[in-house]
Amino acid sequence: MSEINVELKPLPENNNVYVLTLNGTLDTHTVPGFSEKLSNYIKEGKTKLIFDCKNLKFISSAGLGTLVSALEDIEEADENGFIKICSLSEDIFDIFEMMGFSELFDIYNTFEEAKKSI
Amino acid sequence: MAKQYTISFRIKIIFGFVFIALFTIFLAQSVSQNYVRKILISQLLKNLNFIPDIIYSAKQAIQWNNELLIADKVIQLSKNEDVESIIILKENNEVYISNDPNQIKVGSIYEIKFSDYKKAGEYLVDYEEKELSLIKDFYYENKETNKQNKYYIVIKLRINKIINTINELNKKFLLIGIGIIFFGISLAIPFSSFFSKKLIEISQAVRIIGQGNWDYIIPISRKFKDEIDDVAAEINQMAQDLKVAEHLKIEQEVIKQELQIATEIQHTLLPKTNPQFENISTYSFYRSAKEVGGDYFDWLEVSENLLGIVMADVSGKGVPGAFVMTMMRSTLRSHSKNIDEPAEVLKRVNAVLKPDIKKGMFITVWYGILNLNTYLLKFANAGHLGLIVFKNSTKTIEIYRPKGMSVGLVKPEQFNKILQPMEIKLDKGDIILQYTDGVTEAYDKEENLFGDERLKNIILEHNEKSPKEIIEKIVEAIEKHAAECEQSDDIALIALKIEK
């Protein structure tokens, strides 16, 4: 069975920004749990998120949908809120680009770049 | 089957109590009876202080050969209420002195059965139901002959007192026994009803739970738990487990029904046939996974000589996916008539659908319009997979992927800004293929994707064949690749070939 491990840590330099490290696959089995976690974070007021996808192996369309609704929730809750995505694998970046998600999210090659952009 | 008798738990407990009580009393009675008897006898024997005196008199009577010297004592003793009779025997068992009323006369022979006697202190004692006799031997030395003669004195004692005492004791035991039985029963009744109450409670609870009231809980005593409480706890747990199991079953039933609805919708909305033209052949294939996805393809009659081709994938599965797919199909069909710009149609579709689509859901759509006379293919791609084109002139494959965001993701301003139209000219022998990610994302056992390289190679290898044959080859290859693996996503494929 596929699984996704989500680790949430505040950025040492800025406690308002949280780093979400994704490890595993986001598919039919793992998306519902992930989606619930993510919406809880946003409800708790964590509206500035960096998704570190270095170890994300696969993302399904439902997984992408979760990211979109998270972004909409964040924009509703906090006008300064954001989702930055970094360290996507080439395959997943292609999917992002193909579906037009690269226009929607701020995507960075490395975590450092994502951090600098804040 | 043997007849079954119901003996209530209560009666069993009472019987148990009474049996144990009676057994205990019986044991105590027989032990104490023996003990009391022994004590009484030894006391009686201690009181026989007249024996040395009578032996002394007997010796005198023997010495003086005058029975009167002892007869006086014997008569005196027979007034003692404990003494029944006294017999003095010579060594040869000849009765020397007797006051026994049972015809044991002086001069007769009286045999002593020593085997009946037991040693008790300095006496030999024979204890019978109503009589106790004891024997003591003594010696008389004849001074004339210097000969020792052995004599026996046999004293038969009345033991009425002992018997009475023991009878008294037994009566007391009987009373105590009856007392204990009543006490036991009166104790057993509340005790057993305490247990049988619990058992009745449990059997009622099981009936209630059996009727489907899974939340019914049998009360359990917290402080002093016993096995019955354990049973109750087990039943409570079982009810909870059953509840969960039933919910799961209902849930699964709902999912199954939902799945069926989604499958029916999908089957209703997908085209049943592929359009056929003189110069162009088409084919399509669809197979749903266990969980029906939102794959959608269509052939549209845009105008007399324009063929609309749609391949789309809704991000949700099941009923929500099928619902969005239905909206999408209606919108597309109603907005595509007589419009020869695919990008324009997709822009309209996004504008209509965006407000109505649930947050987090989106549709990737590839929409192409083929001019049946000029073979000019115009298309736009809203986030879907690239179009695979086989060019017969160069025997190569090109993938076209103009920019575009998925439908339903963003507001029209942003969507329209990014969506790019594209057009290519097709020629004789050219093939176009569109598909959903179920094709390229089919896994094998080692989790390798089917990928688009394999797809390209199959088309290259079979480019002489019809769209039907090519799609069949692709499906065959996917089946071979994903052998023993469950199909995780829907598979949809459409192909079109310019024949002449």
Q: State how far the alpha carbon of B395 is from the alpha carbons of B49, B370, B399, B429, B467, in Å.
A: 144, 21, 14, 10, 16
- Residue B289, chain A, CB below 8 Å: the answer is no
State which residue of chain B sits closest to A103, comparing Cα positions. B405
User: Is B156 or B293 the better-scoring residue by pLDDT?
Assistant: B156
* ipTM rounded to 2 decimals: 0.80
DSSP state of A82: E
Residues 6+ apart with CB under 8 A from B479: none
Distance of CA B267 to the CA centre of its chain: 44
Distance from CA of A28 to the nearest CA of B (A): 9
Q: State how far the alpha carbon of B56 is from the alpha carbons of A102, B60, B86, in Å.
A: 138, 6, 14
Question: Which of A39, A98, A105 best tests the B interface by mutation, with the highest count of B CBs <10 A?
Answer: A98
CB contact under 8 A, B405 and A104: yes
CB contact under 8 A, A68 and B316: no
Predicted pLDDT at B474: 93
Please state, in angstroms and rounded to a whole number, the distance separating the CA atoms of residues B95 and B108.
5
Q: State how far the alpha carbon of B476 is from the alpha carbons of A37, B272, B453, B479, in Å.
A: 40, 21, 16, 5
Predicted pLDDT at B81: 76
**What letters, b where the CB count within 10 A reaches 16 and e where it falls short, cover B35-64?**
ebbeebbeebbeebebbeebbebbbebbee
- Residue B343, chain A, CB below 8 Å: the answer is no
Which positions in chain B touch A65 (Cβ < 8 Å)? 315-316, 360-362
Residues 6+ apart with CB under 8 A from A102: A93, A96
Distance of CA B377 to the CA centre of its chain: 67
Of A64, A73, A104, the CB nearest to B410: A104
User: Is B327 or B180 the better-scoring residue by pLDDT?
Assistant: B327
CB contact under 8 A, B362 and A65: yes
What is the value of pTM for the model shown? 0.62
The answer to whether the beta carbons of residues B362 and B408 sit under 8 Å apart is yes
Please state, in angstroms and rounded to a whole number, the distance separating the CA atoms of residues B40 and B37.
5
The answer to whether the beta carbons of residues B498 and B279 sit under 8 Å apart is yes
Residue B103 has pLDDT above 70, yes or no: no
Predicted pLDDT at A21: 93
Q: State how far the alpha carbon of B27 is from the alpha carbons of B14, B41, B172, B461, in Å.
A: 20, 21, 14, 103
State which residue of chain A sits closest to B358, comparing Cα positions. A69
Please state, in angstroms and rounded to a whole number, the distance separating the CA atoms of residues A21 and A13.
17
State which residue of chain B sits closest to A60, comparing Cα positions. B315
- Residue A44, chain B, CB below 8 Å: the answer is no
- Residue B317, chain A, CB below 8 Å: the answer is yes
Please state, in angstroms and rounded to a whole number, the distance separating the CA atoms of residues B164 and B161.
5
Residue B424 has pLDDT above 80, yes or no: yes
CB contact under 8 A, B409 and A27: no
State which residue of chain A sits closest to B411, comparing Cα positions. A104
Q: How far apart are the first and last CA of chain B?
A: 86
The answer to whether the beta carbons of residues B150 and B139 sit under 8 Å apart is yes
CB contact under 8 A, B360 and A35: yes
- Tens-place pLDDT, residues B298-311: 999 999 999 999 99
